[in-house]
Every structure is written in structure tokens, then in C-alpha cells.
Amino acid sequence: MSLGQQKAPKAGESRPTQPLAAGNGEAGRPEGQRLSPLALLSVADSRVMDAQAERLSSALPEELMQHAGSAGAHEIMRHYAPCRVLVACGPGNNGGDGYVLARILRAQGWRVEITPALPPQTPLARAMAARWKGAVVPFSPQAAAEAELVVDAVFGAGLSRPVSPEVAAFFAAADRIVALDLPTGVNGDTGQLMGEVARCERTVAFVRRRPGHFLLPGAEKCGFTRAAEIGMPARITTGFPVRCWRNEPGLWRLPRQHPLDNKYTRGVVNVCGGTVMPGAALLATEGARRSGCGMARIASDPAHAGVFRNGPPGIIVDTAPLAELLTQPHRKYWVCGPGLLPQEAGTLFPVLLEAHCCVVADAGTLDWAREDPQKLRGAAVLTPHDGEFARVFGPVGPDRIESARKAASLVGSVVVLKGYTTVIAAPDGRVALNVHATPALATAGSGDVLSGTVGTCLAAGLPPWEAACAAVWLHGEAGRRAAWSEGGWPIAEDIVAQLGNARGTAEKGTDDPG
Ligand SMILES: NC(=O)C1=CN([C@@H]2O[C@H](COP(=O)(O)OP(=O)(O)OC[C@H]3O[C@@H](n4cnc5c(N)ncnc54)[C@H](OP(=O)(O)O)[C@@H]3O)[C@@H](O)[C@H]2O)[C@@H](O)CC1
Ligand SMILES: Nc1ncnc2c1ncn2[C@@H]1O[C@H](COP(=O)(O)OP(=O)(O)O)[C@@H](O)[C@H]1O
Ligand SMILES: [K+]
């Protein structure tokens, strides 16, 4: 087909993004979609899978345990030289995995001992314990201290209450720890610590990783995490209704450049400019431009437009009243909040919603909605940090995912709860966790850059949750690149400068397959 025969994409809608593994509406997901490598499994998800496995074949649970223990043993053989290994086993199937791992390592000639934190209780753990023919030593901190490597197979998904001081003291005495499924004491769904938890060097997860591997403070205890395939049948994993994913390219896809592109097909982002903090609106606008929109404009009060006109030459400044601007073409996508006083946001934001604009609400708009979240209903995406979230919705709870999910469902908007682990929650319950970032992003104006980037991804035609996920990833990638080029200490302008490179990198896909 010649270029002339190709249809140019429509403004704001762009070319259709390809249907994606998870992002394209898991709720309405076609039957038969394979389990995304980006999926994160909750404890309840694993229980459902295990129950389905048991129904499928009575031999399957044991096979899965064999594979899980074997995956743990191979992880150790891959990363450690043969050494004295002490495998600490709990009463449940996490302990069962530990007995299998011990047997496999021992068969490979490693010096392995078992120490039972509690006697095996599940039928499978009992069966695996009965097959252990090697040394068993008492569960004590001294034994842990004497081992060269400790394997944590005490509690995993079944952790139901805080770990005892004895268990905590055992792991505290260990020098190097590899955990199966989760470090003992880390809640797999929330990353919260249930008692004192030691830091592991590695954690091997099964089937897929868990939200708790990515959420603080648990994330810091896991060390390097990897998911091992353990032979969970495709009949179970295919179409499995996951609600949580890691945020990486593949969960979403931004449009690539196209010969028939023009600045309007790439999308136009409009930013509300305020009177007292113009820099914030300028950063949002630059964030929008550098992340690839075709045009970014600032709407300003005529008396304060000078500072925007003296800004970067590629920014267009509009001074007509907002209601008049909204009658013009290319006024669908708005960023409303950076640099706005709450009262300014209160006069602009409702007008944008009235005109059915697609709005990113940040900063001043969130302040305007203090203790009254329903004022935000109609926004496409909200981008609060923890403080802003608390002002609108109440404090972020220990379950960060649940907090963001509830807020999203309450308002009917995508909520981007920013931080070390940014949680991107959709009103329908989908959640992505983003750790593709750096603490170097904690610099004033960085959030303004993000809101402009969300504007670009919306204007590129992505639905709000996918747009928010894409923007958070681009922002994190740009932050990493900026940190690298600025000795670890970038400022917001440096993050802006790396957004183009970030978008190019996103096109190549993720280097983290799981
Ligand atoms: N599909 C998969 O992913 C697969 C997963 N597999 C593996 O299964 C593991 C899950 O097994 P699991 O359900 O038996 O739970 P697990 O963590 O071993 O312990 C539960 C026991 O501990 C007890 N208990 C809890 N907290 C306690 C505390 N603080 N202090 C004292 N006791 C405490 C609890 O007691 P209860 O709460 O019942 O009173 C119960 O007796 C998973 O992590 C993975 O390793 C693989 O085998 C294959 C496929
Ligand atoms: N410790 C951290 N690790 C990773 N990212 C962080 C960290 N602290 C802040 N960030 C990111 O930096 C940005 C800061 O946003 P915000 O607090 O709104 O900044 P501002 O209001 O100054 O623009 C967010 O995208 C947030 O996710
Ligand atoms: K464990």
C-alpha cells in the first residue's frame, strides 16, 4: 500500500494501539489469553490456582511442589558456590518446598541440613519431610549463624499473623538468606512486615511474583526477585483473572511515529497556567512536549501571560477566556493543577469538566478538593502524592493498593498514587505497580513533569489507565537517565530533557521479563 492510500490517524485518537496482554481491559478480556509475564499474584490468586490444580489432578500439587523446590535449588546453584546450607522449614507448603530444595541440593553433593521452625503439618509438607534422609538440627540462632547460606522456607503465602520472636531471632542471626516465595514475615499482598524481618539476598517466587515483592517495606527485604515457572497448567493460567501487574512496556503501548503524522495527530495538550507559580505549569507543559505530544499550550490570564511567553519558544500561550478556548478545536486534553491556587483550580476545573474535557487533576486541583473527593468526579486521572491523597481521601493505609483502588472506585477516575512504588489504580479494580523509577525523582517539579506526561499519553489516544501507566514508566525511565547523567542528583528540568530518550526506550520494550 502506498503512503497515499494509508489513512492518517485522527487527532487525539491517534492510530489504534494494539490490544495488549493486560491493559486492554482485563475485565472484558477474551477467553484464552495467556497469563501475562507482568501479572502479579495475590495470595488469594495462588490459593485459587492451587485449588484448581488439585481438582485437575490429585498428583498435581505434589508435582508443583517438586518444581518449586527444584526452582529454588537451581537458583542457589546458579548464584552460589557449593557451601554449607541450612534450610529452615515451616509447617505449611512453603516448608514443603524447603524439604524438596534440600533433597535436590544434597543430591548435587552440597552439604545441607534441615532445621524445622515448626513440625510439618500439611499432608504435602509431611510427605516431603518424610523423604528427607539428611541431617536435622535444632532451630536456633546459633545454627543460623553457623550456616554459610540459610534458605527461608518458614512462611510464604500462608503467613497469617506476626512471626514469633524465635523465628525473627533465627533469621536475624543468618548472614546470607535466600527466600522461597517471600521472606518470612512479609505480607505477599501489601508488603507490610508482620514482625521483625531479615533482609534476603534473593527471593524465588512461583508462577509469578507478588505485589508484596514491590511494595515497601517488604520490597527492601526481598533482595533480587525472580519468578520461576513451576508447571502450573495452561488450563489454569490461561484466562486467569489477574487484577494486578508490574508496570512495564507491554502493559501498554504508545503509538510509534508514522509517515502521515502531523502535530495534531500526535495530540495536543493544554495546561492551565496560574498566577503565582508559573514554573509548575511550564514544567508540566515541557513534560508534555518532551514526552512526544505534537503541541502543548498554556491557557493563562492575560495579566500573567508574560512569564509564559518568555518561557520556551515552542510553547503556545492562550489568553482568551477558558470558556471561549473550549469552543476551539484541539482542546480536549488538559492538565489542571500544577502551580494553581486551590481557588484558581476551583474556577477552571469545573469548566473543563462541563465541556467534557479529558483532564489530569494534580496539585492545586487536589488541594481544592480537600476532604471532598466527589469534586474530582469526572477527571480522567488524578496524580496525588501521599500528602495530597490524605487531604482528599484520608491517610494512605498499610495496604497501598487497596487505598488507591478504593479512591479510584469512589471518584470514578484513575488514581496515580505516587512514591517509591507508584500505584496506578483504575475504577474497575485494575492496578499496576511501578518501581521503574528512582528516589532521585524526589525533587521539586518532578510531579509537574509527570502530569504533563500523562497529558501526552492521553492525547496520544491511550485510555486513562494505560495512559497513566505509560506516563509513570516514561517519567521513571527519564528520572533514571537524568540521575545517571547528573551524578545521581537531577532536577526537574533534567528529567524533562530525558523524556524523549525514555519514549524511545519504551518502544524497544522491557528488559525485565519477570
Ligand atoms: N501456586 C503456588 O504459588 C504454589 C505455592 N507453593 C508453596 O506453598 C506455600 C503456601 O503454603 P501454605 O498455604 O501451606 O502456607 P505457608 O506459608 O507454608 O504456611 C502456612 C502455615 O503456617 C502457619 N502460620 C502462618 N503464620 C504463622 C505465624 N506467624 N506463626 C506460626 N504459624 C504460622 C499457618 O497456620 P494457621 O494460619 O493455619 O493457623 C499454616 O499452618 C507458598 O508460599 C509456596 O511456597 C508451592 O508448594 C507450589 C505451588
Ligand atoms: N523515593 C522515591 N522513589 C521513586 N520515585 C519517587 C520518590 N519520591 C518521589 N518520587 C517521584 O517523584 C515525583 C514527585 O512528585 P511530587 O511530589 O508531586 O512533586 P512536585 O509536587 O514537586 O512536582 C512523583 O512522580 C514520585 O513518584
Ligand atoms: K519463605
Quick one: what percent of the chain has pLDDT higher than 90? 92
pLDDT of residue 509: 80
Residue located via cell numbers 492575560? 302
Q: Is 506 a domain residue? A: no
The C-alpha torsion from 206 through 400 and 402 to 353, rounded to 10°, is: -130
Within-domain flag for 505? no
Domain that holds residue 384: 263-435+447-471
- Report residue 510's pLDDT band, with 50, 70 and 90 as the boundaries: low
Looking at the structure, tell me whether residues 94 and 208 fall in a common domain. Answer: yes
Q: What pLDDT does 4 receive?
A: 33
Per-residue model confidence (pLDDT) at position 6? 37
Q: Of all protein residues, whose CA lies closest to atom 29 belonging to ligand 1?
A: 163
Q: State which of 241, 275, 298 marks the end of a domain.
A: 241
CA of 169 to the centre of ligand 1 (A): 20
Substitution candidate for ligand 2 out of 220, 415, 435, 446 with most atoms within 8 A of CB: 446
Q: Which of 58, 81, 73 is nearest to 127 (CA)?
A: 58
d(CA 54, CA 89): 23
Do 455 and 354 share a structural domain?
yes
Mutation test of ligand 2: which of 286, 362, 385 has the most ligand atoms closer than 8 Å to its C-beta? 385
Counting Cα atoms < 13 Å in the Cβ hemisphere of 213 gives 31
- Helix axis angle for 400-411 and 386-393, nearest 10°, is 50
Distance (Å, whole) CA 10 – CA 1: 19
Instruction: Check if 8 has its Cβ closer than 6 Å to any atom of ligand 2.
Output: no
SS3 165: helix
Q: List, for residues 254-292, the tens digit of each pLDDT value.
A: 999 999 999 999 999 999 999 999 999 999 999 999 999
Compute the chain's Rg from CA coordinates: 26
Position 17 confidence tier, pLDDT thresholds 50, 70, 90 = very low
**Grid coordinates standing for 118?**
515448626
Nearest ligand for residue 184 CA:
3
Distance 101 CA to ligand 1 centre (A): 16
29, pLDDT greater than 80:
no
Which among 35, 181, 208 is the best mutation to test ligand 1's pocket, defined by most ligand atoms within 8 Å of the CB? 181
Are 389 and 413 in contact by the 8 Å Cβ rule? The answer is no
Average pLDDT score over residue span 322-336: 98
CA 471 to chain centre: 12
237 shares a domain with 269: no
Asked whether residue 512 is domain-assigned, the answer is no
Q: Are strands 244-246 and 431-434 parallel, antiparallel or unpaired?
A: parallel
pLDDT (tens digit per residue) in 204-252: 999 999 999 999 999 999 999 999 999 999 999 999 999 999 999 999 9
Residue 9 pLDDT > 70, yes or no?
no
| Cα(305)–Cα(303) distance, integer angstroms | 6
169 lies in the same domain as 82 = yes
pLDDT in tens, 36-88: 999 999 999 999 999 999 999 999 999 999 999 999 999 999 999 999 999 99
Known binding residues for AMP: 418-422, 447
Instruction: Report the atom number in ligand 2 closest to the C-alpha of 384.
Output: 18
All residues at 6 or more sequence positions from 349 whose CB lies less than 8 Å from its CB, including other chains: 336, 337, 359, 361, 365, 368, 379
What three-state secondary structure class fits 9?
coil
99 and 208 share one domain: yes
Higher pLDDT, 20 or 418: 418
pLDDT of res. 514: 57
Residues touching ligand 1 (Cβ under 6 Å) are: 46, 49-50, 64-65, 68, 90-97, 121-122, 155-164, 180-181, 206-207, 230
pLDDT value of residue 326: 98
**Numbered residues of the known binding site:** 93-97, 152, 156-162, 181, 184, 280, 339, 385, 418-422, 447-448
State in Å: Cα 420 to ligand 3 middle.
24
- Binding-site members for (6S)-NADPHX are 93-97, 156-162, 181, 280, 339, 385, 448
Handedness of CA 69, 74, 79, 84 (dihedral sign): positive
pLDDT at 512: 61
Query: Which set of grid coordinates corresponds to residue 276?
Result: 503565582
151 lies in a domain? yes
CATH of residue 304's domain is 3.40.1190.20
Query: Sign of torsion, CA 199 204 206 210?
Result: positive
Write down which residue in 241, 273, 289 finishes a domain. 241
97 located within any domain: yes
Q: How far is the CA of 169 from the centre of ligand 3 (A)?
A: 15
Taking the C-alpha atoms of residue 509 and residue 175, their distance in angstroms, rounded to an integer, is: 37
Q: How confident is the model at residue 469 (pLDDT cuts 50, 70, 90)?
A: very high
Q: In this structure, are 273 and 225 located in the same domain?
A: no
CA 423–ligand 2 middle distance (angstroms): 12
CB of 189 within 8 A of CB of 211? yes
Q: What is the mean pLDDT of the chain?
A: 94
Does residue 145 sit in the same domain as residue 276? no
User: Average pLDDT, stretch 483-492?
Assistant: 98
Q: Same domain, yes or no, for 288 and 411? A: yes
Average pLDDT over residues 449-472: 98
Could you tell me the distance, in angstroms and rounded to a whole number, from the CA of residue 161 to the centre of ligand 3? Answer: 14
* CATH (domain of 230): 3.40.50.10260
- Residue 31 is predicted with a pLDDT of 56
User: Quick one: pLDDT at residue 5?
Assistant: 36
| Residue 192 shares a structural domain with residue 268 | no
Tell me the average pLDDT across 90-94.
98
The whole-number average pLDDT for the span 441-461 is 98
pLDDT band per the 50, 70, 90 thresholds, residue 8:
very low
Q: Are residues 458 and 315 in the same domain?
A: yes
pLDDT at 346: 98
Q: Kindly give the distance from the C-alpha atom of residue 335 to the centroid of ligand 2, in angstroms, as a whole number.
A: 17
| Residue pair 458/380 in contact by the 8 Å Cβ criterion | yes
Beta-carbon count within 10 A of 406 CB:
16
Element (H, E) at 502: helix 499-508
Cβ distance 251 to 21 under 8 Å?
A: yes
Annotated binding site for K(+): 94, 152, 184
Number of independent structural domains in the chain: 2
Residue 457 domain-assigned (yes or no): yes
Residue 493 lies in a domain: no
More confident of the two residues 9 and 360? 360
**Closest to 251 (Cα-Cα) out of 458, 467, 20:** 20
For 168-187, the pLDDT digits (tens) are 999 999 999 999 999 999 99
Task: Starting from the CA of residue 90, give the closest ligand.
Answer: 1
Q: How far is the CA of 248 from the centre of ligand 3 (A)?
A: 26
| Omega of the bond leading into 217 within 30 degrees of 0 (cis) | yes
Q: Is the CB of 450 under 6 A from ligand 2?
A: yes
Whether residue 72 has its Cβ less than 6 Å from ligand 2: no
C-alpha distances out from residue 59 to 125, 190, 207, 411, Å: 14, 32, 18, 47
Domain boundary among 209, 241, 273: 241
For residues 222 and 272, membership in a common domain is answered with no
* Domain contains 403: yes
Please tell me whether residues 351 and 203 are part of one structural domain. no
